[in-house]
Chain A
Amino acid sequence: MQSTARRFKQNAHEAMADAPLQKALGNIKHGFIQKRRKAAARLPEFEALRDQAREIKNHTLAHLDFYLERFEQKVVDNGGTVHWCRTAEDARRAILSVCRLVGAKTVTKGKTMIGEEIGINDFLAEHGITPVETDLGEYIIQLRNETPSHIIAPAIHVNKEQVAEAFRKEHTHLEPGRLLDDPPQLLAEARQEMRDKFLAADVGITGANFLIAETGSSVIVTNEGNGDLTQTLPRVHIVLASLEKVVPTLEDASTILRVLARSATGQEFSVYTTFSTGARRADDLDGPEQYHVVLLDNGRSDMIGTEFQEMLRCIRCGACLNHCPVYGAVGGHAYGWVYSGPMGAVLTPSLIGIGEAGHLPNASSFCGRCEEVCPMRIPLPKMMRHWREREFERQIRPTVARTGLRLWAFMVRRPWLYRRLTGFAVHMLASWAHGGARLQRLPMAKGWTAYREFPVPEGSTFVDQWRAHQRQILEEELA
């Protein structure tokens, strides 16, 4: 996906002036926030489960190579295939080649943020394969040619009139005068339209909330059931997942699932939680004939062992977005890429580079609510600060360097000033060294002297010495 993260300030400005968007963002408060609070309060073990969820992921990340190998082995034992992909391009190619092998014309898709990350829809379309989003929110934004503005509610920025407009434009075979005033009518139409697409698709692509090393299973969580239809009806099921999704056992996944739904929507459990293990069995009556896992790195392995490793615990529940005053004010699109809110502000620079996403870690009031609600206890504000520091250093270096050069250029064009100042500097440096030959600390150059000593100039500047030398030659010649 193309990033507009560089334009964050401008994006944010526009978002604040966007009245329909502001109205839509208002829904978050009455929905997600209250529901999460109630669900958390109702389970006395909620806080303890968060601790365990964090430990499970920490343990997994500390032995990520081991668990990935075990996961792969199990997938292969179950008759499936794992495609290892370093980059978005690798993943796009892997998916395309599976689609081509079965001569796919249409592909249905469950909601997958990794799919957005690698821009799979455009890529498939460019290669003559029609991608169909099946999650209602994703379908709406696909019709509107937009990207998701929330990781679990992709169309949260769209109001029902806009949905109706998109449906009328797309579903031209239906009666133009039909009523599309309220959500039930809209949902019924989407359901009807989608039915045929589910049945016609050759390949179904889903994401994964978890990959289970113990069994080689992939897990999806949905409320609509679209993900299950996507992975059941076509001949081929492709799971598109990033490599930090792996957890050791079914028990571990169950523990994290207990905090996932509660944090995301305030539900006790999502409607459909499905553990898929391989393709259809010999005597099964339905299900796909092939099971592929496209396993994407795309910058994640580089986060391991850094101050951003903890971000890999993220289970994409969206709680940090819902509770973020900045997200609440500007919405998801302002962040300019797939991931928004506090988790996006930390993750996006890791995945597409701080040069591109340098503004995002500043999109925070450091109120700390994100960390308070994050089920995986990810220290989001701390990591945003890490990025700010890095970005500050990155910005500061060229500036200091530029200013220094400009100053030097100014002075060499004014030799008298240059001589005076350098003469003064030599004198100062020599006096700081208290007669020694090397300086261990230099004001305003700590970055340099922290690792090396600065040689003390010997008495006079080059210009002075050269002058003296010239004078000496002249005197010798005259003598």
Chain B
Amino acid sequence: MTTRGEIFARIRAGIGRDDALDDEKARELIDRLESPKRNLVPARSDLDRTRLVDLFVSMAEEAAATVQRVSHAGAIPRAVVSYLARHNLPMRVTMAPDSSLDRIPWKLEPMLALRQGKADPADEVSLTAAFAGIAESGTLMVISGAHHPSTLNLLPDSHMVVLHENQIVGAYEDGWDLLRRAQGDGEKRLPRTVLFVTGPSRSADIEQTIQMGAHGPRRLHILLVADYVGQGRQAS
């Protein structure tokens, strides 16, 4: 018997069933997988839009992210430059090759040097677009793809993320629904990574004292834009 067969035989012996499930039971379980049902979702994020956005902001700040609210995408270049200046960071940013970021009027800030692509180990600051914001815990839902290299979320010391208010949903389950919808029927696979980020990197491994910036970014800055983008567009 193969190792695999042996493991299955032992599991089935433990369960008390000789063979695979009968068809009817298998159908039931396949349905459970193909149309996933929600379990209990905490009521915390069951709020109107304004309060939902407020909850996202307060939870993200509690997790030590910083949030800067801007009225429209045109205000982003200014916000980026002032953030860099405030933290004594170079005016050099590596940006995700994402069309929604392309459309930002970067020319307004000629001092800012932008490069598009995956992260280089020497990069100090990255700028990416989130797929969604989860209000429940102030979490960013970030997906990988041609337009979203995952190294940008991890390697640079400072990570800036653009999130539009209408991308904020209540619970993780809402995020999954959004992703399934954005993928449509064509792509059955999840993106290579779906990353939930809640605040900047930290470690408490030395004497149980929390230190920021263990291996991932030391700073997480969220640029929260009041105007709208089409939801889930980044998944394509």
> Chain A interface (Cβ within 8 Å of chain B)?
24, 27-28, 30-31, 43-45, 48-49, 52, 56, 62-70, 77-78, 84-86, 90, 134-137, 140, 153-156, 158-160, 163, 183-184, 186-187, 190-191, 194-195, 198-199, 213-215, 217, 223-226, 228-229, 232-233, 243, 248-252, 254-255, 257-258, 265, 267-281, 283-287, 297, 301-306, 309
Contacts and interface: CB of A to CB of B under 8 A. Distances in A.
A44 B191 CA distance: 33
Interface in B165-220: 171-173, 176, 188-209, 211, 213-217
A123 B104 CA distance: 52
Contacts of A257: 172
B7 A66 contact: no
A44 B45 CA distance: 12
Contact of B192 (A67, A69, A70, A280): A280
A272 B193 CA distance: 12
B151 A232 contact: yes
Contacts of B138: 268
Contacts of B149: 284-286
Contact of B206 (A69, A85, A160, A254): A160
B145 A281 contact: yes
A30 B208 CA distance: 9
Contacts of B2: 84
Nearest to B191: A277
B91 interface: no
B118 interface: yes
B190 A271 contact: no
13 contacts: A63-B21, A135-B205, A187-B214, A215-B190, A217-B190, A226-B215, A228-B195, A252-B36, A269-B198, A272-B196, A285-B118, A287-B144, A297-B10
Given A273-B195, A279-B192, A301-B11, 5 more contacts: A77-B188, A224-B214, A268-B59, A271-B198, A306-B14
Contacts of A159: 207
Given A226-B214, A271-B201, A252 B39 contact: yes
A182 to B, nearest CB: 9
A306 B14 CA distance: 7
A309 B118 contact: no
- Of all A-B residue pairs in the complex, the 6 with the closest CB atoms, nearest first, are A225-B216, A304-B14, A305-B14, A224-B214, A137-B205, A301-B10
B40 A45 contact: yes
Nearest to A61: B15
A134 B154 CA distance: 14
A287 B155 CA distance: 13
Contact of B172 (A84, A228, A254, A301): A254
A358 to B, nearest CB: 23
B154 to A, nearest CB: 5
A302 B209 contact: no
A233 to B, nearest CB: 7
A73 B93 CA distance: 41
A277 B38 contact: no
Contacts of B87: none
Nearest to B36: A249
A140 B97 CA distance: 38
B16 interface: yes
Contacts of A226: 214-216
A419 B235 CA distance: 91
Contact of A272 (B8, B17, B97, B216): B216
A272 B44 contact: no
Given A183-B211, A258-B42, A214 B195 contact: no
Interface stretch (B26-34, B71-79, B106-114, B123-131): B26-34
A216 B223 CA distance: 33
A254 B176 contact: yes
B12 interface: yes
A85 B44 CA distance: 42
B88 interface: no
A224 B200 CA distance: 9
A153 B42 contact: no
Contacts of A249: 32-33, 36-37
Nearest to B157: A191
Nearest to A67: B29
Given A187-B203, A224-B214, A309-B14, A215 B40 contact: no
Nearest to B200: A271
Contacts of B38: 251
B193 A274 contact: yes
B14 A301 contact: yes
A62 B16 CA distance: 10
A322 to B, nearest CB: 11
Contacts of A160: 206-207
Nearest to A274: B195
Which of A184, A228, A265 has the largest count of B CB atoms less than 10 A from its CB?
Answer: A228
A140 B205 contact: yes
B89 interface: no
A127 to B, nearest CB: 21
B190 A84 contact: no
